Amino acid sequence: MNSLYIPDPYPPVGRRLRAWLDGGPADERLLVLDIGSGYNTPTVVRLPMERIARSRAHGRLLRVNPVRPEVPALPGGRALGIAAGAGAGDLLAAVAGH
């Protein structure tokens, strides 16, 4: 971390997110949409998004990233990585075809 990073607001937001996730039925469908996160700070966005999708039986991960669209192998092919730069129509077609 450097002096520009101020972590103070994140723990309360994380607790609210956890409460929201824990408050829903375990079998509820969930789409985790990850737009643009790469590997400069993977523990801040990229890896938590993967964990959230993995933690739900019906959780799916959609990652849109121009350079690093890789996704982890989730059971049932529940993860899709799309190299951004494609137009909205191309993005929707890729999602619909998955």
Report pLDDT for 12.
Answer: 92
Share of the chain above pLDDT 70, in %: 84
> Whole-prediction pTM value?
0.78
Distances (CA, A) of 38 to 15, 56, 64, 68, 76: 24, 23, 10, 6, 24
